[in-house]
């Protein structure tokens, strides 16, 4: 179960962070964190950031949240589209 959740939380944070040339410590500092531990947890998919933190990551990494967390975006989009179809009687 935990492995399934980690797969759902896979993200591209580390990739976009490295493209910007930022260290985990720098991003953590810009997020207002005292250490890079939380950022590491986000990057590994152990934890999803709060909405505020996700938006800060979008700003820092200059990348839309949907691109940073494509798996979460896809899961949410599919669930909403399925419900829309159900409500439309499709």
Q: What is the pLDDT of residues 5-30, one digit of tens each?
A: 556 788 999 999 999 999 999 999 99
* d(C-alpha 86, C-alpha 45), whole Å: 31
* d(C-alpha 30, C-alpha 10), whole Å: 22
* d(C-alpha 4, C-alpha 66), whole Å: 20
Query: What pLDDT shows up at residue 4?
Result: 54
What are the structure tokens assigned to 79, written together? 């669930």
* d(C-alpha 42, C-alpha 21), whole Å: 18
């Amino acid at each position: 179960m935990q492995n399934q959740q980690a797969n759902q939380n896979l993200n591209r944070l580390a990739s976009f962070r490295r493209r910007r040339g930022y260290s985990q410590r720098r991003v953590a500092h810009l997020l207002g964190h005292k250490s890079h531990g939380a950022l590491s947890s986000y990057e590994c998919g152990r934890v999803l950031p709060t909405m505020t933190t996700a938006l800060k990551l979008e700003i820092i990494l200059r990348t839309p949240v949907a691109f940073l967390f494509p798996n979460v975006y896809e899961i949410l989009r599919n669930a909403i589209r399925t419900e829309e179809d159900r409500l439309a009687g499709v």
